[in-house]
A and B are shown apart, each in its own frame.
Chain A
């Protein structure tokens, strides 16, 4: 591995990227108060909000222009996903954007791609390869009739008459069991190229979910810091005490590293996809860790209050794990990160 490569290390956003961040940041902040998140429980889907996300261009922006999209890059998409995570918006945007991109790349029917771009048909992706007739839990499958899945036969589009039944879960996500034998199925693509498309989609899902987890961590941190500034003990704000301040300093450190690793991975995936294919997985591992730590520390800084359902930190704490676990055991990602190093040294 070339450790002393002369590459730029520039994380600054250009004007367009800044506009994406601010535009979606304002949108989600205004449209998604915590009351809306609570009202959408336990399913974790708000149909009105979904329509507004569609109107913002959230469902089409990541598709190529010839498929009715704006050709947004993964850098743009991670910026959107972080803003979504900051308010834990109850919309299946990450799965839908990733599955739509896969559908377009794999030659899915034009009408379906167009319906996905317009958010009329929600599509999602089975993140684990299908083995035999085994069912698996698929993110957002409780609101999506269309599930893309990879098996030994190839990449298949599974379509049900109605989305599968929701299974209540800790993160209040629209999780459902996906049964590969149910409904209609159409083989879209086969062979090594199709498998590569599937693996790329899984990496994209992990990258965008990592960005959303960074957003969760950022909001959790903010709640903890605000509490630490105003809550007093022994005559001082508790945030002045190192026992409180240091865990929060650790959180912002882990979170900043996670955010920048997500951006770096998105840059590579956009501009040099073959150079560092393991980076989205590394970013996912770190973001899942940062969100877990941030939400726990923030809840704990708030003491007993942080353990109550009433406190907004509860929304973030329950989703930090509830969203990250959908990607499977990070140990699998760590093994791939190590394998990439072993192949390079």
Chain B
């Protein structure tokens, strides 16, 4: 067991300074303003700048376009990117998809894409959820039909976040509607500039932009098929298990569980704590001296401490649900000032609590709803039996 401060070598210290200086330079107020305005989770200039340093895939060797960083420097970089609030959604989906590309793509295609992905010029998004399907991604209905050396795609996907900033989507399709549900799926890496692809923006009240993507007679070469035909479920599992946080290295240099919004919640709690220290009640007493305020704030702090140490999938559920409950309570503690928008007169620390409240609500859905994960916890952690439903094994439309 070890929670000690990691002692840095002079080289690692120099690296930390270099990262901080570089991020200070590239992550300008304009970058934050762009993110507030677009909700893209992506900034091209920042992404390319990180790519130029090899920091999009920092563990890769330098000759592959990475930075050859050791585990400590990887952790330094990850923490500094979080500290600097670098928009990172598209960087993250690109990393997830790359794991599958490396495993399942045509080797020539993978070799061709690798330097582009490392440099930041090629980016990937996730084409998982059908409009009718939600988290049940194995129930995909988007149809792919073979036509010689090509495949023809028809259908649509929701929640393809970043599609408008990406070159390819990692698409799950139905290639055999007669086969059992998980045996009729095939994955493709579809170029998003293909004729017949239409991307439409969807806005969330968390401030994010995601997309609906429509595929009408889209032709994609067999070269862009990922893995075997009808073996799409296995092809997809690689990045999905990475997304669900499987395989945590045991050197203590990563988070214990999957944190969904805990940092945004902590930002809001810290802002409320500072607000309490400078704010007086109508009777002249300091909010920070009010034992009722402290009791309720303390309960929220306990929730974040617990979220940080709850392991794996359980952490994913705990962090999201305690954040959603807790941020509503935090707003009650602070009052209407908490909901003033960025730039409004009297907004608290740039509207950080307002943002955290809106953002919280999506965290119970990203990457699969909390209910999907509760099913997995029940089955894999507790060993409870799986409930067999009509659509569990069969493709039911």
Other-chain contact of B384, A11, A245, A256 (Cβ < 8 Å) = A245
A264 and B309 form a contact (CB under 8 A): yes
Number of residues on chain A facing chain B (CB within 8 A): 59
How near does chain B come to A72, taking the closest CB pair, in angstroms?
14
**Interface residue? B4 (CB, 8 A):** yes
B375 and A10 form a contact (CB under 8 A): no
B3 and A282 form a contact (CB under 8 A): no
Could you give, for residues 169-201 of chain A, a 1 whenever the CB lies within 8 Å of some chain B CB and a 0 otherwise?
000000000000000000000000000000000
Other-chain contact of B386, A240, A249, A279 (Cβ < 8 Å) = A240
A6 and B6 form a contact (CB under 8 A): yes
B387 and A241 form a contact (CB under 8 A): yes
Chain B binder among A63-71, A156-164, A302-310, A334-342: A334-342
Residues in B with CB closer than 8 Å to A27 are: none
Could you give, for residues 226-246 of chain A, a 1 whenever the CB lies within 8 Å of some chain B CB and a 0 otherwise?
001100000011011110011
How near does chain A come to B299, taking the closest CB pair, in angstroms?
5
Chain A binder among B145-153, B219-227, B265-273: B265-273
Could you give, for residues 251-271 of chain A, a 1 whenever the CB lies within 8 Å of some chain B CB and a 0 otherwise?
011101110110110011001
If A7-B5, A14-B1, A252-B382 touch, does A345 touch B274 (CB 8 Å cutoff)?
yes
How near does chain B come to A242, taking the closest CB pair, in angstroms?
7
Residues in A with CB closer than 8 Å to B386 are: 240
* Interface of A, helix, strand, loop or mixed by DSSP: helix
Other-chain contact of A337, B263, B274, B302, B371 (Cβ < 8 Å) = B302
Interface centre among B250, B288, B310 (most CB of A within 10 A): B310
How near does chain B come to A159, taking the closest CB pair, in angstroms?
36
Q: Which residues B191-223 have CB closer than 8 A to chain A?
A: none
**Interface residue? B49 (CB, 8 A):** no
Residues in A with CB closer than 8 Å to B274 are: 345
Chain A binder among B33-41, B160-168, B239-247, B290-298: B290-298
**Interface residue? B179 (CB, 8 A):** no
Could you give, for residues 68-87 of chain A, a 1 whenever the CB lies within 8 Å of some chain B CB and a 0 otherwise?
00000001000000000000
**Interface residue? A293 (CB, 8 A):** no
Interface centre among B2, B3, B82, B310 (most CB of A within 10 A): B3
**Interface residue? B276 (CB, 8 A):** yes
Bound CA span A240–B384, Å: 6
Other-chain contact of A260, B252, B310, B317, B378 (Cβ < 8 Å) = B310
If A225-B383, A248-B378, A253-B314 touch, does A4 touch B294 (CB 8 Å cutoff)?
no
How near does chain A come to B111, taking the closest CB pair, in angstroms?
35
Residues in A with CB closer than 8 Å to B79 are: 4, 6
Other-chain contact of A225, B276, B314, B384 (Cβ < 8 Å) = B384
B302 and A229 form a contact (CB under 8 A): no
How near does chain B come to A184, taking the closest CB pair, in angstroms?
37
Interface size class of B (residues with CB under 8 A): 35 or more
Bound CA span A267–B252, Å: 14
- The chain B residue sitting closest to A73, CB to CB, is B1
Q: Which residues A1-41 have CB closer than 8 A to chain B?
A: 1, 3-14, 17
- The chain A residue sitting closest to B276, CB to CB, is A342
**Interface residue? A285 (CB, 8 A):** yes
**Interface residue? A331 (CB, 8 A):** yes
Q: How many A-B residue pairs have CB under 8 A?
A: 187
A286 and B306 form a contact (CB under 8 A): yes
A249 and B382 form a contact (CB under 8 A): yes
Other-chain contact of A245, B5, B269, B273, B378 (Cβ < 8 Å) = B378
Bound CA span A146–B36, Å: 63
How near does chain A come to B271, taking the closest CB pair, in angstroms?
8
Residues in B with CB closer than 8 Å to A263 are: 1
B256 and A334 form a contact (CB under 8 A): no
**Interface residue? A333 (CB, 8 A):** yes
B270 and A282 form a contact (CB under 8 A): no
Q: Which residues B372-388 have CB closer than 8 A to chain A?
A: 374-375, 377-378, 381-388
**Interface residue? B305 (CB, 8 A):** yes
Other-chain contact of B310, A237, A245, A248, A256 (Cβ < 8 Å) = A256
**Interface residue? A250 (CB, 8 A):** yes
Other-chain contact of A282, B297, B305, B375, B384 (Cβ < 8 Å) = B305
Other-chain contact of A334, B4, B75, B266, B298 (Cβ < 8 Å) = B298
How near does chain A come to B314, taking the closest CB pair, in angstroms?
4
Task: Please name 9 pairs of A and B residues whose Cβ atoms are closer than 8 Å in the assembled complex, sorted by A.
Answer: A75-B1, A237-B385, A239-B382, A253-B377, A257-B314, A264-B309, A282-B305, A335-B291, A341-B301
Besides A239-B378, A252-B382, A345-B274, 16 more A-B contacts (Cβ < 8 Å) are A6-B75, A8-B6, A9-B252, A9-B254, A10-B2, A236-B387, A240-B385, A242-B374, A252-B381, A264-B3, A282-B305, A334-B299, A335-B294, A338-B301, A342-B276, A342-B288
B residues at A contact (CB < 8 Å): 1-6, 8, 72, 75-76, 79-80, 82-83, 250-256, 263, 266, 269-270, 273-274, 276-277, 288, 291, 293-299, 301-302, 305-307, 309-311, 314-315, 317-318, 371, 374-375, 377-378, 381-388
